[in-house]
Structure 1
Amino acid sequence: MTDATPTSVTHHKAFLIILDGWGITKDPAVSAISQAQSPVMNRLLRTCPHAKGSASGPDVGLPDGQFGNSEVGHLNIGAGRIVWQELSRIDQSIADGDFKRNPAIQNALSAAQTTGRLHVFGLLGDGGVHAHIHHLQAMLALANEHGIPHVYVHAFTDGRDTSPSSGAGFIGDLQSFISDKPNVKIATIIGRYYAMDRDKRWERTERAYRALMDGDGEVVTNDALQSTLQKRYAEGETDEFLSPILIGDHEANITQSRIQSGDPLVCINFRGDRARQLLKSFLAFDDVDFAGAQPLKHEGPIATFTAYDETFGSFVEVAYPPQQLTNTLGQVIAAQGLQQLRVAETEKYAHVTYFLNGGVEEPNRGEERLLIPSPKVATYDLQPEMSAIELTDTLVPKIESGAFDLVVLNYANPDMVGHTGNFDAAVKAIETVDTQLGRCLEAASVGGYRTLIIADHGNADVMIKPDGSPHTAHTTAKVPIILVEPSADGLYTSETSAEGSNQPKSNTFEASASEWTLRDGKLADIAPTLLDLMALDQPPEMTGHSLIGPRLESDE
């Protein structure tokens, strides 16, 4: 809990808008952001104080050169300090030998020595967003050291935080790594689209579950695995969308390598949001909604590298429990007796709530949440607007009312559509967000909010790789930080618009003049900056710094 106490000083209202995946462009030719028509953002950058923020590498608690992601970004934003991420924690644990002594991992290995079987599963690749191949290799090496007779690897191919057809290379690396470990076998290959859904598309999760448990999928030999992957690629089926491949010489091999009820399981993913649904299936939670027979609860021990869901409780042993963060942004606002609102569509709802609150599921006192369902489409390039318009429609009256002291909004489009690699769709996503941003700022003027516009990481700023193929991963780009403040005359000189229009009242906005300046910084500086704008004290736990610079001298 926070130890901050309510202040008697008059505070200001603040509005934080997070444009997920909107990095600052270096090469306009490959940037959907540069190619899009974005009059609102262009006008803001001409007329409002703005700066650049670091959202990758050590500035957000990641290894040098590692791009950021939404989870990492929102944790740092809400914490107001650099939060060292699980990727770095586990890397260090492996390097110093603590990994081999980790109680959760040791318990799984001890159980496997009794049963003679161990299943290790998770995302395969070096994207570093949800998992890392180095962690998988460390786990397999340790299992080999313990002499587990049968170790089965169920690999989820990426193609989203890595190149779309890079999975064959990572599988080749894995094959080489286990070539001197005859007890370790690759048992299953399946795309993350199925194994790591987070949007309650249970039909996807069920397909992964049936492959792991029942052996539903295409059977190929280990020798034919690479040629099978190349054939899939040639047919347009990239890593993210690989339907299940089961590896074995005959049916008995496939049956032997499936997960059986008493088998110990280890999931190497260190990010929880895309691992929850599959784990819930193993635990037979009530909200699992399969079309076929509902799953039975797995009776063997389950270890996960990090905590995926508080409701898992004692059913799952966590190797690296979450760090306890106190005096996060939400806690400070709540301690002042103020009201806050968190707003997102489904894809980013956990980020503006759980992650922004430092990994705490429970809302703060006075914290309301507004969730708009994401569209039910196979991939978001089919509907690049996503639910941004509906989100804004619902939010605008709440902003205009001025009822909340702090509002945090996430627009998912630049990130989620950027991940598809579809350039034209990403351009449409940017244009959609730009239009809705204008509507939000008009409402903020009515409600009297100081608005800070930021991004949590890059993505749509690079859509094409040097070889001309689609770029689907995040980037290490700096992100924009823009301050927009209301004035007595309103934020914009706006003309009236049709009732119910989802367009701003005018596309010839004039942002009110600002006396503020902004300094460059990092995501850990956002919470201190917001508190500064709100005239609230920054707690000592927040080691970030306000980016508000000295006021400009008046010409009068």
Structure 2
Amino acid sequence: MQPLKRLESFSGPEGPVVLCIMDGVGIGKGDAGDMVAKATKPNLDWLKENSLFATLKAHGRAVGMPDDGDMGNSEVGHNAIGSGRVFDQGALLVKNAVESGDVFDGDVWKDLTGSLSADNSLHFIGLLSDGNVHSHINILFALIRQAQKQGIKKVRVHTLLDGRDVPPTSALEYISSLEAVLTEINDLGEFDYCIASGGGRLYITMDRYDADWPMIERGWQTHVRGEGRKFATAKEAVETLRAETPGVIDQDLKEFVIERDGTPVGPIVDGDSVILFNFRGDRAIEISKAFDDPNLDRFDRGPIPAIKFAGIMQYEAEQQIPKSYLVSPPAIDDVMGEYLAVSGVRQLAVSETQKYGHVTYFFNGNRSGKFAENLEDYVEITSDLVPYEQRPWMKGAEITEVILDSIEKDKHDFIRVNYPNGDMVGHTGDLLAVEISVETVDLCLGRLIEAIKAKNGIMIVTADHGNADEMYEVDKEGNLKLDSDGNPKSKTSHTLNPVPCYIYDASGKAGFKLAELSDAGISSLAATSIMCLGFEPPADYDPSLVELK
């Protein structure tokens, strides 16, 4: 890789270029569920009047998802922002591989299924929904049906309940759909296919960034050991847990184990095979380690069953997590961080735990580590382990302090930051907390604006996808959906709305104007950042949002 070439008429600002990603802050319709519009945000309002402003696509094909009805998410969003191009993402790669049959023709699938005895089980673990962010229920159905076609006698499904990328209390709909498929196969008379265990995605199994390993331990005990509260059916489990904790949403439901004649139906034992069918990596890595790494010491796994394990994808290539996988991950190369490193640009990446991996690993094209140790600093502020609606400000102030220190001391030329508030709090469905979360980010931006002014830097403020901008469900015509009591239905998932982009040049010396682009996406932020630093973007990057006058 060659260093970037300097622009002839602009060599970069006196101060740093700061790329601020307001996670989950999209542009809504200004209706009752639009907490971004409702929030008091004088600094974003000021930027709107004093910056170049554009709206960007952050969903569907603009970020490598199968179609434009698919929500964006932080993983694919940061891949697109950091790489400057759009790569086919896990959802699309897995969909294509399953539909073409390539998955079932591969050596890993054949190894997992071909070694099973009649007494052993094929287990599927994953998020049971059609959110298409971490998984899709249709992929699970295709895997189950293929197992039946091959004559595999016993299948066990360990269901992680969503309520985050889909409506907050929709679990029973997905359980019903799954039970219908399992019953259809069982009615053939020679198969034993059933749900074995489950629980909410934020209570068991799907931790990320080493934030809460007890979640993984609870998942291990539930799925592998068959230890947990026993129920006859998953439906009974969900209904009982909801009745005992009024207002609880699916992602927070406690673990449950399905039993038959007083015995768990699906502990994972010697000779079994296990497939993790989530395709998104961040919340799949830790449970994969639990199955794959004999030296893992994060919790006591007890006797580890001798099984075969694979992920639907490889979630971390450098560390080979997991060792076996069914579909190859996207091959993302020549990312912005590497170009800046070989060009001698000093970089800072900062966020709190929940989004730290996004401004580092995902931003760098699913690559761990730095490109240049002497030029890059990565700072992680430890997230609080409390419900986000209880502290919607999260670690915004602490993140901002790190950036201010860098700006004031001229430590870095390019700073990228993720404020997680709009997304993490948005997923709770608590409207007041979401409003406060947006106002927190605005307050932090106000402090950064003053620092950028003092140093004559450039500030780019944007988002990776929407969330806080649409907290009520709407129909195709944009009308609010109502529940049986006539109240608006809460929405905790991402949105299909565009995201904002403010480009503020404190000195005005760059002489930028908005480029005439149609349907620009967040992948154009890389070329934009590179131009703001005074370099020519790589020729294969999606075009910059700005050009020189």
Q: Normalization by structure 1: what TM-score?
A: 0.88
- Secondary structure of the equivalent of 1:395? helix
Please point out which of 60, 65, 70 is paired with 1:66.
Answer: 70
CA drift of 1:231 comes to 3.5
Q: Which residue of 2 aligns with 1:539?
A: 538
**What is the one-letter code of the residue matched to 1:146?**
Q
Matched, 1:420 2:459: no
Please point out which of 118, 129, 135 is paired with 1:125.
Answer: 129
CA drift of 1:74 comes to 0.2
**What is the one-letter code of the residue matched to 1:50?**
F
Find the aligned partners of 1:18 and 1:518 in 2 and give their Cα distance.
21
**What is the one-letter code of the residue matched to 2:490?**
P
Matched, 1:470 2:479: no
Find the aligned partners of 1:7 and 1:284 in 2 and give their Cα distance.
46
- Secondary structure of the equivalent of 1:483? strand
**1:329–1:312 Cα change, 3 Å:** closer
Q: Which residue of 1 aligns with 2:513?
A: 516
Q: Which residue of 1 aligns with 2:189?
A: none
Q: Is contact 1:282–1:295 with CA below 8 Å preserved after alignment? A: no
CA drift of 1:203 comes to 2.1
CA drift of 1:450 comes to 1.3
**1:485–1:241 Cα change, 3 Å:** same
Matched, 1:197 2:215: no
Find the aligned partners of 1:141 and 1:386 in 2 and give their Cα distance.
44
Mean CA deviation greater in 174-183 or 384-393: 174-183
Identity of aligned residues (%): 31
Counterparts of 1:112-511 in structure 2 under 5 Å?
Answer: 112-113=116-117, 116-182=120-186, 183-193=192-202, 194-198=204-208, 199-222=210-233, 225-234=234-243, 235-236=245-246, 237-252=248-263, 254=264, 256-283=265-292, 288-290=297-299, 293-310=300-317, 313=320, 316-365=323-372, 366-377=375-386, 379-465=387-473, 466-467=481-482, 468-487=488-507
CA drift of 1:408 comes to 0.5
- Superposed CA offset, 1:120-146 (max 9, x none): 110000011101101111111111112
**1:227–1:152 Cα change, 3 Å:** closer
Q: Which residues of structure 1 form unaligned runs of 5+?
A: 489-511, 552-556
**What is the one-letter code of the residue matched to 1:340?**
Q
Matched, 1:76 2:80: yes
Find the aligned partners of 1:109 and 1:485 in 2 and give their Cα distance.
58
- Secondary structure of the equivalent of 1:473? coil
CA drift of 1:272 comes to 1.2
Q: Report the number of matched residues.
A: 519
Q: Is contact 2:24–2:423 with CA below 8 Å preserved after alignment? A: yes
- Secondary structure of the equivalent of 1:178? helix
- Secondary structure of the equivalent of 1:362? coil
**What is the one-letter code of the residue matched to 2:205?**
A
CA drift of 1:114 comes to 7.6
Find the aligned partners of 2:206 and 2:548 in 1 and give their Cα distance.
47
Find the aligned partners of 2:55 and 2:297 in 1 and give their Cα distance.
43
Q: Which residues of structure 2 form unaligned runs of 5+?
A: 187-191, 474-480, 483-487
CA drift of 1:221 comes to 1.9
Mean CA deviation greater in 2-11 or 388-397: 2-11
- Secondary structure of the equivalent of 1:45? helix
Q: Is contact 1:281–1:288 with CA below 8 Å preserved after alignment? A: no
Q: Is contact 2:197–2:223 with CA below 8 Å preserved after alignment? A: yes
Q: Is contact 2:124–2:158 with CA below 8 Å preserved after alignment? A: yes
Q: Is contact 2:279–2:313 with CA below 8 Å preserved after alignment? A: yes
CA drift of 1:314 comes to 7.8
- Secondary structure of the equivalent of 2:20? strand
**What is the one-letter code of the residue matched to 1:91?**
K
- Superposed CA offset, 1:204-255 (max 9, x none): 2221211112222222223xx4244234334323211121222232233x1x
Find the aligned partners of 1:446 and 1:105 in 2 and give their Cα distance.
59
Q: Is contact 1:401–1:447 with CA below 8 Å preserved after alignment? A: no
CA drift of 1:400 comes to 2.1
Please point out which of 56, 62, 66 is paired with 2:59.
Answer: 56
Mean CA deviation greater in 8-17 or 207-216: 8-17
**What is the one-letter code of the residue matched to 2:454?**
V
**1:514–1:214 Cα change, 3 Å:** same
- Superposed CA offset, 1:250-272 (max 9, x none): 233x1x51011442110000011
- Secondary structure of the equivalent of 2:404? helix
Find the aligned partners of 2:337 and 2:108 in 1 and give their Cα distance.
31
